[in-house]
Structures are given as structure tokens and as C-alpha cells.
Copies of this chain bind each other. A is one copy, B any other.
């Protein structure tokens, strides 16, 4: 169990001590350094975090593929990290990036291309900023 001295140290200290979840991951939010738009939410394990810090380019850990993943390794759409920040309890990372091309595997600049609004009978979605910058079938050949 954490005690309050541990919490104070993690929240108020300057020691880098990421708090990985049971799967060994922290959450990472990438925003466009120019516009502030959220591009994607993904995960990093210890190795992805270290490689991102050392290289200045975003590395993630893919839960679905269970593998370390250099962003853009297939598509060429890399993310250059302008700044990395860590949240209060050190279990979430925010990177401001210069995105080459598109962040989303669907071909959109951002993964957040649908808006949610209250509607009768429940929430409804609509497309917003949903233009494709590339054709995913051409880029990710199977």
C-alpha cells in the first residue's frame, strides 16, 4: 500500500517514478503542439517511455498487438516530441508533438473525429474534422 509520504514524494517531488498499472502501462495523451488538438490516447510501457525520452520521437506499447511500437514505423507518420509532461500521480503522460501526416490509423489527422451530443433516446455522434489525409488500405497493406 502507498502511504502519504510516498504520495507526497510522487506528487510534489522531482524524481521520475512513473506509476505503471497492473499491465505495466501508463496512459499517454498526444496533442498537436501547434493547435492543441488531442491527436490520440495510447499507452506506454517502461521501454516505450524510455525510448520516447531518449529519442525525442513517440514510442508506444500496443495492447492489441502486445508489442512495442514506434509511432509511424509503418506509415511514416512519426511524432516529434516538443515537450513531455507527467501528471500529479505519475500514471499519465502528456506529449506535445509535431505530427507528420496523420495520427490516426483511419487516415485522419486526429483519432477524435466524432463529436458526441445528447439526443433523444441517448447520445448521438457526428463527424467533425474527419477528412482523411491518407488511404489506410494503401498504407497498411495486409
> Which residues of A are at the interface with B, using a C-beta cutoff of 8 A?
11-16, 27, 29, 31, 35-38, 40-41, 50, 53-54, 83-88, 92-94, 104-106, 108, 111-118, 122-128
Contact = CB atoms under 8 A, between A and B. Distances in A.
Number of copies: 2
Given A36-B37, A92-B41, A115 B29 contact: no
Nearest to A95: B116
29 contacts: A11-B106, A12-B106, A13-B125, A14-B124, A14-B126, A16-B116, A16-B124, A29-B29, A29-B41, A31-B36, A36-B36, A36-B37, A38-B38, A38-B94, A41-B92, A50-B123, A53-B117, A53-B123, A54-B118, A84-B116, A85-B112, A86-B114, A86-B115, A86-B125, A88-B106, A88-B108, A88-B113, A92-B111, A94-B112
B84 A115 contact: yes
A95 to B, nearest CB: 9
Nearest to A17: B125
Contact of A16 (B35, B54, B122): B122
B16 A115 contact: no
A132 to B, nearest CB: 11
Nearest to A90: B114
B92 A114 contact: no
Contacts of A127: 14
